[in-house]
Structure 1
């Protein structure tokens, strides 16, 4: 009876993995199709469409913009998120629970709702340029991931070490930079990587904050498939999947995925 349960559980697990990974495998294989029409199984093997990624200037331009927005927004979110995570982990104060909910709200609110809100206020009401609005929107998007991961790192930190450093003559800022930051650097790196992935691959918010002459790579991919059905987008998808896998492996090596279930 127990053996049959194990077999049934294994079969269900196999179906789940097939459902999750099957489309990725199909896209990966189809990206090597030599003809001008995306199909599976492919009729041959060719790297032509991977080379075509670098030949299409729109992909390269939007890739640079996506990298710039993700990196600058990440830096801004980091400058805001580290002090916020420190305050939430170190002190007890009125309204702490409300602040926790406020900082997590960009994750809880559907992306389309959040994107429309940014469009309504950042662009329509405050008349911000698209570049600035896109930067602000992605910074707000990344902030909860920065705070969440860094706060999880600080949850295991013994703040008596900070007090000991201060009792030996270090200032509060000196103790923070010389004692706390070095001990949570792996959590900071993991937070940066996760926030970068969330920003770089974002579609639902970016679609409201882009327009003619300004687009991110995921939005450009959507625009491309509206006019062409060649395997170029499949090739880009494979490269993005490889990038995501590399970064997730780095995160696992740095802090372990269990960090995201601690709090």
Structure 2
């Protein structure tokens, strides 16, 4: 195959790949703008009224706030637990460190349906945990592996002698961590927060098992809404959430070099 033929083949493959990746996103955007009373594609006329309606649905507003709270505070708690864990795993020769890494990664490896069912059966029901607390515990557990792995990657690139120098100059171990280690891994910590936030906010399988009457995350509320209504507002909301996630990742990449950590 000559050079022109290879170039043409490469462009065709690239076009097909982009169509596969971006096509569903474009379909959702256009379906949410369809000027019909039902979800349809290709759209029959264009309107923004379904995008406007999203903000008037009370259940969407309530579930959005719940999802935001779970994503923010669940990720913060995961970082509070994950940063010291990543520090210990990288700085000390701990017995069973590989086993600990495997256990921490379990929520990623195990399917979400199994995690949700296990939490419901062996934690929520026996301990009579409230729905909100159960969701908070689950989302924290799901985000923790990302916190440990991303921060570990950042810690791995930090020279250990910098911390030792701070200790020799009179700092305690805690002071050396807060004044030397933490400022140098802040990019990794912020990257872990963003990755955890996006993962938690869009979580479906675990939330499906742990949601209860009147307490549902936004993805679960969208599923419930589609059971009784088939208008384009769900497509419009999906497009808005996709834009939000893309904006977060884009800003993180521009400011932090997000791809270096994930």
Question: What TM-score range do you get, normalising by the shorter chain?
Answer: over 0.9
Q: After the TM superposition, which segments of 4 or more aligned residues of structure 1 sit over 4 Å from their partners?
A: none
1:41 shift after superposition: 2.0
| 2:195 paired residue number | 194
| 1:214 paired residue number | 215
| 1:85 paired residue number | 86
Using the size of structure 1 for normalisation, the TM-score is 0.95
| 1:134 paired residue number | 135
Unaligned runs of 5+ in 1: none
Alignment check: 8 A CA contact 2:222 2:234 kept: yes
Over 3 Å counting, the alpha-carbon distance change for 1:152 and 1:59 in structure 2 is same
| 2:225 paired residue number | 224
| 2:159 paired residue number | 158
**1:70-126: CA deviation from partner (whole Å, max 9, x where unpaired):** 111111111100100111111112101111111111100011111111111122222
Alignment check: 8 A CA contact 1:33 1:44 kept: yes
Give me the whole-angstrom Cα distance separating, in 1, the residues matched to 2:172 and 2:260.
Answer: 33
Give me the whole-angstrom Cα distance separating, in 2, the residues matched to 1:131 and 1:237.
Answer: 23
Greater shift, 194-203 or 30-39, is seen at 30-39
C-alpha RMSD of the superposition = 1.2
Alignment check: 8 A CA contact 1:30 1:231 kept: yes
| 1:257 paired residue number | 259
| 1:185 paired residue number | 186
Alignment check: 8 A CA contact 1:187 1:255 kept: no
- Residue 205 of structure 1 aligns to a residue whose secondary structure is helix
Give me the whole-angstrom Cα distance separating, in 2, the residues matched to 1:28 and 1:203.
Answer: 21
Give me the whole-angstrom Cα distance separating, in 2, the residues matched to 1:101 and 1:2.
Answer: 49
| Residue 17 of structure 1 pairs with residue 18 of structure 2 | yes
Give me the whole-angstrom Cα distance separating, in 2, the residues matched to 1:139 and 1:18.
Answer: 35
1:27 shift after superposition: 0.7
1:2 shift after superposition: 4.4
Give me the whole-angstrom Cα distance separating, in 2, the residues matched to 1:113 and 1:193.
Answer: 25
Alignment check: 8 A CA contact 1:161 1:179 kept: yes
1:47 shift after superposition: 1.4
Give me the whole-angstrom Cα distance separating, in 2, the residues matched to 1:116 and 1:12.
Answer: 41
| 1:69 paired residue number | 70
Give me the whole-angstrom Cα distance separating, in 1, the residues matched to 2:214 and 2:25.
Answer: 31
Give me the whole-angstrom Cα distance separating, in 2, the residues matched to 1:127 and 1:108.
Answer: 27
| Aligned residue-pair number | 260
1:103-142 residue pairs with structure 2 within 5 A?
Answer: 103-142=104-143
Alignment check: 8 A CA contact 1:130 1:209 kept: yes
Give me the whole-angstrom Cα distance separating, in 2, the residues matched to 1:216 and 1:246.
Answer: 21
